[in-house]
Amino acid sequence: MIKTCPQCNKETDLSPINIYRPFCSEKCKLIDFGSWTNEEKLISRPIESEDFYQE
């Protein structure tokens, strides 16, 4: 399955062959990880147990 990389929008393979999926490369994966560790990205609210169940 081919989708776009969430970091750079380049086409990437989502099959198990791509060890960096859903990213296209290690670089894009590390950029995203850095955004989370720098708290540039946050979860908007605390996770509740109900969030794990579908309605």
Tens-place pLDDT, residues 27-50: 999 999 999 998 888 888 888 888
pTM of the model: 0.69
Q: 3-class SS at 32?
A: helix
pLDDT tens-digit map of 9-31: 999 999 999 999 999 999 999 99
Q: What is the pLDDT of residue 52?
A: 82
8: closest CA among 41, 19, 20?
20
Is the predicted pLDDT of residue 5 greater than 80, yes or no? yes
Measured CA distances, 44 to 14, 40, 55 (Å): 27, 12, 21
**Which residues, in sequence order, are CB contacts of 10 under 8 Å at separation 6+?**
4, 24
